Amino acid sequence: MIQKRKASSIVAGRKRESGKKKLTKYHTKLDKKMKSSSQAYLKRQAKDIYVKMAVEQGFRSRAAYKLVHLNGEYNLLKPGMSIVDLGCAPGSWLEVIEKELGKNCTVIGMDKIAIEPVGDYNFIQGDFTEEETFNQVVDLCPKGVDLVLSDMAPETTGHRETDHIRSMMLANIAVDFAYKALKPGGNFVAKFFQGGEEQEMRNELRKHFDKVQFTKPESSRRESKEMFIICFGYKGKKD
């Protein structure tokens, strides 16, 4: 909230006669104190329609709209289903699920960061790259689940190849989890940063799902390398 107020101050500069924006006193102060990457982030946030919508509609983050758009396009969320949401913090995808399905579903959220609970959905805190956390979530799905979502993302370094490789590692762990936890017919969605290795992941997933495709929801920033792989109709347990 505080961040958003700061952000709108930044774009509230007055126009000079030359047409250039005059910096407010506050803006100048920010300029001096903040790294240019932080300023760029705040400026982007202030202009971003999905940040504004998230505040107005009471979602914890703009990430909510990625699931809203994926669901709008692919009809992923259905009453009565069981869902695992990997990398769920701060919880806006869980909020979208709650808005769509309310109590008419079973949900397990997982993240290494703690979250404020969403409804009475389950939450596991842990690092999913660690076997203990992975197995803990598997153990909570003894009957299998209908949908595995992964919005897990590494902290970005700005180095394209590094970010790609780290995101693919998380996506591939989500794939291993999906093979263990999905019911036949179940669906899987995972985020990654584009870079090349995703083709191999798609080829592998095509062996185990009826339909596999890449998708970038409207709310995913155009300049971001972020992409989602979406898989329909799990063919059944992989050995």
Instruction: Tell me the pairing of strands 209-215 and 226-234.
Output: antiparallel
Q: Residue 225 in contact with residue 193, Cβ under 8 Å?
A: yes
Greatest C-alpha distance within the chain? 70
Return the number of the residue (127 or 210) whose C-beta is nearest ligand SAM: 127
Question: Cα–Cα distance between 174 and 228 in angstroms, integer?
Answer: 12
Q: How far is CA 201 from CA 104, 123, 233, in A?
A: 32, 28, 16
**Positions in 161-220 near ligand SAM (CB under 6 A):** 170
By CB under 6 A, is residue 153 in contact with ligand SAM? Answer: yes
Known catalytic residue: 35?
Answer: no
**Positions in 91-120 near ligand SAM (CB under 6 A):** 91-93, 111-113
Considering only 128, 134, 177, 192, the residue that binds ligand SAM (CB under 6 A) is: 128
Considering only 42, 87, 123, 219, the residue that binds ligand SAM (CB under 6 A) is: 87
Which one from 191, 225, 237, 238 is the annotated catalytic residue? 191
- Paired with 227 in beta bridges are 192
By CB under 6 A, is residue 88 in contact with ligand SAM? Answer: yes
By CB under 6 A, is residue 63 in contact with ligand SAM? Answer: yes
Q: Residue 175 in contact with residue 190, Cβ under 8 Å?
A: yes
Positions that interact with ligand SAM (CB under 6 A): 60-61, 63-64, 87-93, 111-113, 127-129, 151-154, 170
Looking at the annotation, which residues are catalytic? 191
